[in-house]
Every structure is written in C-alpha cells, then in structure tokens.
Amino acid sequence: MIIDKLIETSVAKQNPTVIGLDTRIEYVPEHIKRRYFASGIDMKMACEAILEFNRSIIDAVYDIVPAVKIQMAYYEMYGFYGIKCFNDTARYAKSKGLIVIGDVKRNDIGATAQAYATAYLGQTFIDDGVAQNAFDVDFITVNPYLGFDGIKPFVDACKAYDKGLFILVKTSNPSSGQVQDVVTRDGKSIYQIVGQLVEEWGQDVIGQFGYSAVGAVVGATYPEQLLRLRQDMKHTYFLVPGYGAQGASAEDIINGFDEHGLGAIVNASRSIICAYKSDKWSKAFKPEEFYQAARCEAIDMRNDIATAMIMKR
Ligand SMILES: O=C(O)c1cc(=O)[nH]c(=O)n1[C@@H]1O[C@H](COP(=O)(O)O)[C@@H](O)[C@H]1O
C-alpha cells in the first residue's frame, strides 16, 4: 500500500520530510534563465527553465528525502506548458524513486469529484479497453468541505489504484482559525470534527503500520492543535507544512509524531528551493550552485527534526 511505501522510505532514509517544488520563475537562477530565454521569453521557455531547475533539485536530494510535493498552482500559472511541466517533474521524481504528492487541493460535488479522482488518481477512459493515466502522482491533497460524497470518489480511487490522500484538517495559514477553530454546540472545534471524519473515511485503507492511505494536512504553525489531532487520529498520517518559510520550528512539528517517530511527514518548499538566496547559504554557494544549497538545507532540516525528537524523549 502506498502509505506503507511512504513510511518505509522515510524510515530507510531516516528522514520524515518532503521537499516542496513550489517553483516560480523568479527562483530560477539567471544562468539557467539566460539559456532558455535566448530563443524567446514566453511561457514555454519559462516552463523549460523551471523543469531544469526542478530536475537539478531532485538530483541533489533524491538520496536523502523520501518524497517531493509539487504544488499545482505554480504550474497552472503557465497554462498548458505548466501542466506539462508539473507532469514531467512528477515523472522525473518517480524515476528517481521518490514518492510524489500532487498538491492540487481538489473537491466538488460527487460527480465532479469523480472526474478529479479519475484525473489525478485513476485512469481516464479513452476508447474501448483503452485507459491512460493523466497524471503520475502517488498522493494528492483534497479539501473536505463538501462532505463525504465529495470525498468518496477519491477514497475509492485510492483503493482501486493504490493511491493516497492528504485531506485538509487544520491548515497552516494565519486565518485558518476563522473557520476551522469555530467551536460547535457539542464543544468541539470544526477542525476536530473534520479530523474525526477523516479518521472514519480512511478506515478501509489501513496499511501494515496501522496508518491509513487517507491522511490529513495539519499545519506546523499550530502545535497545540497538532498535538490534539495526533492523539485523536490514531490511524491518520499527517502532512505537516509550515516549517521554514512560514516560521514553524522543529519543536513545533514534533507533536505530529507518534511514540515510534512515525505519523508525520514535514514539508518545506521555499526554505529549500530558495536556500541559495538565504542569508544562511548565499555566502557559501553561488547561484550556479543552488542545488547544493538546497541539499545542505534539506540535511539541516532532517537533522533539526531528529534533534528535536531526541530532546522530546
Ligand atoms: O496542503 C498543503 O500542502 C498546505 C496546507 C497548509 O495548510 N499550508 C501550506 O502551506 N500548504 C502548502 O505547503 C507549502 C508550504 O510552502 P513553504 O511555506 O514555502 O514551505 C505550499 O505548497 C502550500 O500550498
């Protein structure tokens, strides 16, 4: 099951992190842009430059991290070429043995959710007996706000095609409490209720480590809620964004892990892919060495989390 593969890969690499390829053309160093833009500055060339940047980051980290998360919004900005770049990035990451999370945050009424599930997790029917994958990802992110009929097609696709989900439960953004922390009449917050539902929705796809292929997104920026959800959601793996650029520390995310050091995979995007521009690394690495800075920052992140885990014991 894909959740077992994610757990096994992060245990083998001793690294419960995922690198986010939220690549903007502004992050691509001049020496790459110059080469692609020599023959014309347009979306196609921008996407080719972004793909080269992504491949270099993947080459630099695939031996130390278990997964990458590719955020679709940064590719949709480039229309047709962006979608191709998303797909080419996903396929390249998979060819390097990485697990790929497509951060697409989809959902709709049941019938439309079914089409999204087909697009990202299943196979698109083309003609008699002919069906093909539109995208090549292992997990996607999903929004739960429409309730179970909007989620069921995704869960069914997980069962049929051995894929996984991370469903938004408590998001990392500053105003997430406006909706998610609202306390209902029975004294529970919306995020706790959604957490309970996610735990139920995933009960038919539990793998050998006791965790479901239906996971949850819980932001690192809310350590108290992370702890409460870890206690309430015994079978749900967490994707934890917010480390690095959004200000959360290793101490903040530690609440997402269980007593065996499993249960969570921590995402960082900008702090890794833009590491070469940071005060921390810009003196050590030239822009041409952006991928080495990314590797160093990925190693620091892994070590930072490992140290926080040891301190917690
Ligand atoms: O689903 C997500 O991945 C997600 C959920 C959430 O609550 N907060 C959050 O930041 N994310 C994503 O995680 C990434 C965070 O990026 P950085 O802040 O650059 O590390 C972005 O791709 C966000 O879209």
Nearest Cα residue to atom 7 of ligand 1: 171
Pocket of ligand 1 (CB under 6 A): 20, 22, 71, 103, 141, 171-172, 217, 219, 241-242, 244-246, 267-271
DSSP 189: B
Written as one string, the DSSP assignment of 97-120 is T-EEEEEEEE--SHHHHHHHHHHH
**Sequence letter at residue 262:** L
Nearest Cα residue to atom 13 of ligand 1: 241
Output the average pLDDT for the chain: 97
ipTM of the complex: 0.99
Taking only the tens place, the pLDDT of each residue in 59-88 is: 999 999 999 999 999 999 999 999 999 999
As a CATH number, domain 2-16+103-312 is 3.20.20.70
pLDDT of residue 284: 97
* Percent of the chain scoring above 70 in pLDDT: 100
pLDDT of residue 189: 97
Q: 165 pLDDT band (50/70/90 cuts)?
A: very high
Mutate to test the pocket of ligand 1, among 103, 243, 277 (most ligand atoms within 8 A of CB): 103
Which pTM value belongs to this model? 0.97
Taking only the tens place, the pLDDT of each residue in 247-289 is: 999 999 999 999 999 999 999 999 999 999 999 999 999 999 9
127 alpha carbon, distance to own chain's centre: 33
Nearest Cα residue to atom 22 of ligand 1: 71
Residue 99 pLDDT more than 90? yes
CA distance 127 to 25: 38
Mean pLDDT on 161-179: 98
189 alpha carbon, distance to own chain's centre: 25
Domain definitions of the chain by residue range: 2-16+103-312
Nearest Cα residue to atom 11 of ligand 1: 241
Question: What atom in ligand 1 is closest to the CA of residue 176?
Answer: 7
Q: Which residues pair with 124 in a beta bridge?
A: 132
**Residue matched to tokens 């130390």:** 64
* Percent of the chain scoring above 90 in pLDDT: 97
pLDDT of residue 121: 98
N residues, the chain: 313
249 CA from centroid of ligand 1 (Å):
15
**Sequence letter at residue 189:** S
Residue 39 pLDDT more than 90? no
pLDDT of residue 311: 86
Residue 313 pLDDT more than 90? no
CA distance 64 to 48: 25
Q: 181 pLDDT band (50/70/90 cuts)?
A: very high
Q: 40 pLDDT band (50/70/90 cuts)?
A: confident
CA distance 199 to 2: 17
pLDDT of residue 218: 98
Q: Which residues are catalytic?
A: 105
The b/e string for 4-22 (b: 16+ C-beta within 10 A; e otherwise) is ebbbebbeebebbbbbbbb
Radius of gyration of the chain (CA): 19
Taking only the tens place, the pLDDT of each residue in 4-35 is: 999 999 999 999 999 999 999 999 999 999 99
39 CA from centroid of ligand 1 (Å):
34
Q: What share of the chain is helix, strand, coil (3-state, %, to 5)?
A: 50, 20, 30
